Amino acid sequence: MELDQLLGHYFGDHDPDTAPADVQARAKERIAIDFGIERDPARRFALWTLMDALDFAPVPAEAFDKQPALRAAAERYLDAAYRIERYGEPG
């Protein structure tokens, strides 16, 4: 799954910030529903990272409660994102 494709699919545009509030709300609801029913681990993780980027992802322990490998990957992702946010991009 590519980010541009996901954004275009859910928001109708590649910049969700430019979408009207009602479009953003519907898109987030659709993403959450798709995340809940997705069975492919890679697609599920991609949807979760999109939700995290949009600030509405559940914590890894809840999102991947029955998938320990994905839970660990999500926790590593959050750790890396935190380090980048706090210290800047690795040089």
Domain encompassing residue 56: 3-87
pLDDT, tens digit (0-9, with 9 covering 90-100), for 69-91:
999 999 999 999 999 888 876 55
**Total domains present in the chain:** 1
Give the three-class secondary structure for 86: helix
Determine the pLDDT at residue 52: 96
Q: Which residue has the higher pLDDT, 3 or 59?
A: 59
How many Å apart are CA 64 and CA 80, to the nearest integer? 18
67: Cβ contacts below 8 Å, ≥ 6 apart: 41, 44
Q: In the prediction, which pLDDT does 89 show?
A: 67
- Tens of pLDDT, residue by residue over 23-61, are 999 999 999 999 999 999 999 999 999 999 999 999 999
